Structure 1
Amino acid sequence: MPADFPPWDRVYTFFRRWRDHALVKEFHDRLRSRIRDREGRDAEPTAGVIDSQSVKADAVVGSDSRGFDGGKLINGRKRHVVVDTLGLLLGVMVTAADTGDRTAAQMLLEQVVDAHHRLALVWADGGYTSSLVDCCFTALAPVLAIVKRSDGQKGFVVLPKRWIVERLFAHLMRTRRLARDFERCRTNSAEAMILLMTRRLARSRPQPA
């Protein structure tokens, strides 16, 4: 802890109290609404982007909440996120890294749609095809639009809309506790976004010439 902070156990007690009473989520949602309002957007988004990120887990993370992602060759956890078109977090779910993207996405989208009733369109990559598209069409409100790279594209390619969520992952990886998963509790996932949004709101806007 920084030298000008109270003892760590006192700070954590306040954080745990706020988290258990859903105040952390309330802070997060109000900040997101403030940013959307400043950007001239409605408070409730109508479109979003979904993706996942696998990260290595520290030794403090129990074996019951971690797994091995065979595609990324990572032993740890996987973060499944939905963001709006400004890159602001709408929903997050943390699972073992061996959890399939489509399985987690269906549960996450149900939560996000329940909280954001105006959400009508969600962009995703090719890993979310098959039954999830049909599920969104029949059981959930938003349409799932798959953004794929063309057959001739090789290497790293910036794809439309997909870069929005990739930028969020880049921001999260700059946070020490998220670059490698140190959290015993999987619910402590959205707090880094509060820091990012407060910095974004505090950033001075250029004055018109």
Structure 2
Amino acid sequence: MKREDETKILQFITKVQADMKTEEHGKQLKLLFSNPIPYGVSILLIITIGLPFDLPVVAVSGCILMTIFFLCKVQFQKFWKEMSIIFSSNGEDLTNLSKFYLENEKKRLFLIAEYNNHVIGTIAVRETEREGTGKLWRMFVDPSCRRMGIGSKLMKELFCAVQHLEYSSLELRTHETNTMAIEFYSRHGFRERKKTVFAEVFPCKLHAILFQKQLKQVETGF
């Protein structure tokens, strides 16, 4: 793999992850503002503090709502710091793609999709701690090229390419709000195996989902 090719791939991955991070930030903010707990606590405090002491309802309500808003902001910042690790571009493989995927004897694979000399998609496989199970990751498609079958073509090529790696199954992890990816993986034969808490700072919580697919000797039909 040429150095200029690695640079193009890294630039592509960095851009796509930045776009995903921005999109996810908006999703999490919407979830926070739709969470009934802060509103319930605010109403309870207004009733508990305002009514018994015959305080001005408007003033008490404003003060409490501002306090709850500030606390939620602080909590959300802590939560986002925990969960934004998902979008980090500092992975061990990204420091030297050729060395990590090609210049070793481990069962690793990295595929790209190109159009007009531009990278528009990537997918990779590496070993896990379990013998016979590979980890699918670095699955990215340019947002402007989605719904065009690029991801499916990459997945089909990967299923064929991993035959010589002797994996009996593949696994991957994604987060629960990444609904487009969950639908895509499910459509390609991956099944949910386990859900765990990835990041939690009250009142925010994010689950990570483990998916797994059993491989056949010859993958067809995609």
Q: What's the TM-score once normalised by structure 2's chain length?
A: 0.25
Higher relative contact order (CA 8 A, sep 6+): 1
More helix per residue: 1 or 2?
2
Which of the pair has more CA radius of gyration? 2
More strand by share: 2
